[in-house]
Chains A and B, each alone.
Chain A
Amino acid sequence: MDIFLQLVVSGFLVGGIYALIALGFVLIYKATNIINFATGEFMMIGAYIFYSLMVYLKLSPFIGFPLVIVCAALLGALVERLILRHMLGQPNISIIMVTIGLSSILLGIAEIIWGSSFRSFPPLFPRKPIILGEVVLRSNLFYGFVLALIVVVVFMLLFKYAKVGVAMRATANDQMAAFSMGINVKTMFTISWAFGAIAASLGGIIIGNIGGVQPTLGHIGLKIFPIVILGGLDSIMGAVIGGFIVGIVENLAGGYLDPYFHGGVKDLAPFVVLIFILLIKPYGLFGTKEIERL
């Protein structure tokens, strides 16, 4: 029983962090209908920038975080403005290929700048494990979860109440109508890329703080993908719940089944769940149904 509880709670925490990265996908998809396959690399770049600020410039994390947010926003906005803006109106598959290409480019750039060796972060949080009843949690995981949760809640409030958020929702819904409401749709595209990059890179910092950073950190993006599909590509709430489901499933599968199968079940389990859920709900748990009228 304690093992079960331990696995569920730590899976829940991991899920919260996944949810933040999943937001990186959702924020961009919602406004622009583009699936950004470079989300994982945005994470990795964010983690490296934070690492550099901490280790080379010896800045405090309180300065490091805002600086990473600024850098990520700039990266996201630049990518949109310089690359994806020119892809407007092109077939979806071309746009997807562009984001896949972008992920390779970012990976290459990271290797050129930081090399391919593994680096671990200087300690950010108190090292003492957190003990909740019978459950013991690694401090990096616990504080990382808290941080991820704060960022996710801020984004949710932003989308629901702030002017930018409302304008982004309007843009996602109907671009023509958004224009005629006086919303600058192109600016909204840029902002949503900036937001997506911010969410991904903060997720990257948290993941990097738990397991260290190397250029292939971005491959975690592939693991996030089932979460996004599971929750429905355009739903923030879906990303959050999908994150928790995948985090818990993954942890339970890893804890109970991996010992019998030489490992690997942990990575497989989320995809099995994904396939089952999509069989029942093809648009994901919370996704918008697209009804085609003939």
Chain B
Amino acid sequence: MKILSIDDVSLAFGGLKVLSDVSFDVNQGEIFAIIGPNGAGKTSILNIISGFYRPEKGKVFFQGKDLSHVHADKRAAMGMGRTFQNIALYHGMSVLDNIKLGAHSHLKTGLLSSLWYWGSAHKEEMALRGKIENDIIDFLEIESIRKQPVSALAYGLQKRVELARALAMRPSLLLMDEPVAGMNAEETEDMARFILDIKEEHNITIVLIEHDMKMIMDISDRVLVLNFGEKLTQGSPEEVQKHPEVIKAYLGQKKAETKKNNQKKG
């Protein structure tokens, strides 16, 4: 079943074409990876899905609903979580406060009553906090750092806290922009394991952008390849790896040929 459909989307900044007629579907419960060289339009696609950019042409459907007139904040409330390429945590706040912010859209109390934090908003917050503590903090193994300010944490842990914040929104779709960029091998393995668990235990669909090919090939169900804003190909990790256009885009024409020749020789 489709949870997300990108239908013939184009985007340009002034004269610079960023995306041309890109279409793809993401199925419920899969890990869908978007890869491509720098400047291929990967982050732009995520920004269109989250509603930060408005496409010139084409539509985005989420759970069958046309998102053309839905603002970014409403999309988040509909169940779209997001993590960012450059960590977008609230640095002055503690880990727990950051995670609680993720649950912001689920606080039902209205504006007026939320002015009185002693009242029902407070009770609601306490209940929420208990739930978050049990589920997400345990799940991501960040129990020991939950009271620490985010800015004091190592990079890999910050990424994990950002993921925790996104999970606190109880999303049905999670958009991840380079979740393991800048991580060491061990941190990358941890993150890959978490992403798989999120999919399997929480039944959350994941769309991710990543440059770490090994991880992509290990965990993704399907891969979309973009190059210069156009869809190059799409398929299982194995199919994509063998695709001649992909090899060309990644290694360049000449290298690809040399590689082919070497393979023939060998």
Contacts and interface: CB of A to CB of B under 8 A. Distances in A.
B115 A164 contact: yes
Interface in A157-192: 157-158, 161-164, 166-167, 169-170, 173-174, 176-185
Interface of A: 157-158, 161-164, 166-167, 169-170, 173-174, 176-185, 288
Given A164-B111, A167-B104, A182-B105, A177 B73 contact: no
B3 to A, nearest CB: 17
Contacts of B105: 181-183
B117 interface: yes
Contacts of B51: 179
Given A162-B114, A179-B76, A180-B84, 14 more contacts: A157-B117, A161-B117, A161-B122, A163-B107, A170-B90, A176-B52, A179-B51, A180-B50, A180-B80, A180-B81, A181-B76, A182-B73, A183-B105, A185-B73
Contacts of B117: 157, 161-162
A180 B90 CA distance: 13
Contact of A162 (B81, B82, B88, B121): B121
A163 B80 CA distance: 20
A178 B89 CA distance: 10
A7 B122 CA distance: 42
B115 A162 contact: yes
Interface in B69-125: 71-74, 76-77, 80-82, 84, 88-93, 97, 100-102, 104-105, 107, 109, 111, 114-117, 121-122
B169 interface: yes
A167 B88 CA distance: 15
Nearest to A170: B101
Q: Which of A161, A162, A170, A181 has the most CB of B within 10 A?
A: A181
Nearest to B109: A163
A67 B165 CA distance: 40
A176 B52 CA distance: 8
Nearest to B122: A161
A164 B109 CA distance: 10
Contacts of A164: 111, 114-115
B73 A179 contact: yes
Nearest to A167: B104
A179 B121 contact: no
Given A163-B114, A180-B50, A174 B88 contact: yes
Contacts of B97: 166
B104 A181 contact: yes
Contact of A173 (B84, B91, B122): B91
A158 B117 CA distance: 8
**7 nearest CB pairs, A to B:** A182-B105, A182-B76, A177-B88, A163-B114, A179-B72, A180-B82, A161-B117
Which of A162, A164, A170 is the most central at the interface, judged by chain B CB atoms within 10 Å of its CB? A162
Contacts of B121: 162-163
A288 B88 CA distance: 16
A126 B169 CA distance: 52
A173 B114 contact: no
B196 to A, nearest CB: 23
Contacts of A163: 104, 107, 109, 111, 114, 121
Contacts of A177: 84, 88-90
A223 to B, nearest CB: 29
Contacts of A158: 115
A181 B92 contact: no
Given A174-B90, A184-B73, A166 B104 contact: yes
A143 B114 CA distance: 28
A73 to B, nearest CB: 12
B169 A182 contact: yes
A173 B51 CA distance: 19
